[in-house]
A and B are shown apart, each in its own frame.
Chain A
């Protein structure tokens, strides 16, 4: 167990081994380990972020849904109101139109009645005049009763 040149040989071997390990073995392995570590950390962070985003999206969706429901309810309400209004309006219109038509019809009836009265009066007066004329032709001297004739004729014309 004496110390001899084997020591030097062993030191050379050791130096070579350490050099080789330092140069070719340690860096790629530790690099792979560190890179994988960071990749896993990134993956975990991304997963967490994704989950958060999903939660946020779900919340957003719920909000949008709620808003949409509110909006549709508003629209239905508005439409109902509008329909009621339209019904009321058309009722009013119909009523006024009916009244207007009634008035117009009454006016027309009156008009026609007046026309008929006028016509009748004219016919009656013509008839009376004719009858009177025939009577008068027999009994009245035209010159003698001129005053009277014109007076009657005037009265008839006035009526």
Chain B
């Protein structure tokens, strides 16, 4: 695919080039270095910024940065409390991590599409895809981790028997066991897939539109690029928020004992 893209010229070539990740290795064991690099950098940025605030946290009058961080924390905490009624050390920090990390991933979308790939090109890197959420590996990594947590908590709270019973005996009772199982499996598996694909689809489409706008003559670009960027500020926050809220909802469903 990469060689094809390289060969193609013009608009198609430009688009395909922009959406091709920097890859090393072959087959399954290849790595998208750009996705790994940017998500690690953004994750580091997130923990560094929040850790600094946590260290300086005071119960007195908060500084501006602490007030900002606390606003986010309280927002996430409120969302978790509204949805999840159990007691868990994990869920709120998990929700915060997802919210901020995904938001930062998405935020990379707002950098002009040619800046970072241009710099990377000067450094000799042929491909550079800067938005981690336009990589299915990144979004699926999150949703599969969440899926593992869902399974883990379902078994932990309900027990193996309880969870098996829920899979086989709801919603139609034990006489419809195979049908129930099929229904439940689809329901459970749909969770990570919908989480990952929703985020991926939104950001991939958004990035694609930025690339298309970049193909237009320069005097038209601001009139389309600016409104789309403003609209995108909403999209990136909303997608991060949706991912977080759905994670909390799924985990609280896993905690509910029927």
Q: Is the CB of A17 within 8 A of B46?
A: yes
Q: Is the CB of B142 within 8 A of A14?
A: yes
With A4-B30, A17-B46 in contact, is A10–B137 under 8 Å at CB?
yes
B201 to chain A, nearest CB (A): 11
B93 at the interface (CB under 8 A from A): yes
Which residues of chain B are near A14, meaning CB under 8 Å?
A: 43, 97, 101, 141-142, 145
- Within 41-66 of B, Cβ neighbours of A (below 8 Å) are at 43, 46-47, 50-51, 53-55, 57-60, 62
A13 to B43, CA, bound (A): 8
B86 at the interface (CB under 8 A from A): no
Please give me the residue from chain A that is nearest to B23 by CB atom: A4
A29 to B73, CA, bound (A): 8
Stretch at the interface among B31-39, B107-115, B183-191: B31-39
Which residues of chain B are near A36, meaning CB under 8 Å?
A: 59-60, 62
Q: Is the CB of A11 within 8 A of B141?
A: yes
B138 at the interface (CB under 8 A from A): yes
From A4, A21, A35, B137 is in contact (CB under 8 Å) with: A4
B interface majority secondary structure:
helix
From A4, A20, A26, A31, B29 is in contact (CB under 8 Å) with: A4
A74 to B221, CA, bound (A): 96
From A1, A6, A18, A35, B94 is in contact (CB under 8 Å) with: A18
Chain B 124-152 interface mask (CB, 8 Å, partner A; 1/0): 00000000100111101110110000000
Where the two chains meet, the residues of A that have a C-beta atom closer than 8 Å to any C-beta of B are: 1, 3-11, 13-18, 20-22, 24-26, 28-33, 35-36, 39
Where the two chains meet, the residues of B that have a C-beta atom closer than 8 Å to any C-beta of A are: 19, 25, 27-32, 35-36, 39-40, 43, 46-47, 50-51, 53-55, 57-60, 62, 69-70, 73-74, 77, 89-90, 92-94, 96-97, 101, 132, 135-138, 140-142, 144-145
